[in-house]
Amino acid sequence: MNRLKAICITLVMCAAMSVSAQQTEKWSEVVIQTDGTCQACKDKIEGGVAYEKGVKTVDYDLATAKVKIVYNPEKTSVSNLCTAINKLGYTANSSPATSEKPCDMKEGTKATPSHNHDHNHNHGQH
């Protein structure tokens, strides 16, 4: 019985320390302007940035072309997040894409959230 009691106490202490460590982690939020134009762009940006170290959540709003990212500033920076977006082929605030933009949607064409959009690109590349 004493052994079971000791195991239970140890588990409770470990759980408490884990919760305490999670509560001390500080999250920041940044909104980055970009130039994705369709659902495939949204998926690529959200999926690519989500795998960056220190990123908790990524939400790209097609209507405003803004990416809202919740991240741990002790593990990454806004500059690193912008670079990650640039590497995916999109602008990030004022920094230009460092690779070819995956979508070749014509300038001035409105993005549509449906899968029946009217621009030509290979969705297999996203």
pLDDT digits (tens, 9 = 90+) for 61-104: 999 999 999 999 999 999 999 999 999 999 999 888 887 766 65
The pTM of the whole model exceeds 0.75: no
Residues 6+ apart with CB under 8 A from 41: 60, 62, 90, 102, 103, 111, 126
Cα–Cα distance measured from residue 58 to residue 51, given in angstroms and rounded to the nearest whole number: 10
pLDDT-derived band at 33, boundaries 50, 70, 90:
very high
Q: Chain-wide mean pLDDT for the chain?
A: 78
Its sign, for the CA torsion 91, 95, 100, 106, is positive
Note the CATH number of domain 27-98: 3.30.70.100
Summarised one tens digit per residue, pLDDT across range 12-23 is 666 656 554 555
Domain boundaries, the chain: 27-98
Helix (H, G, I), strand (E, B) or coil at 55: strand
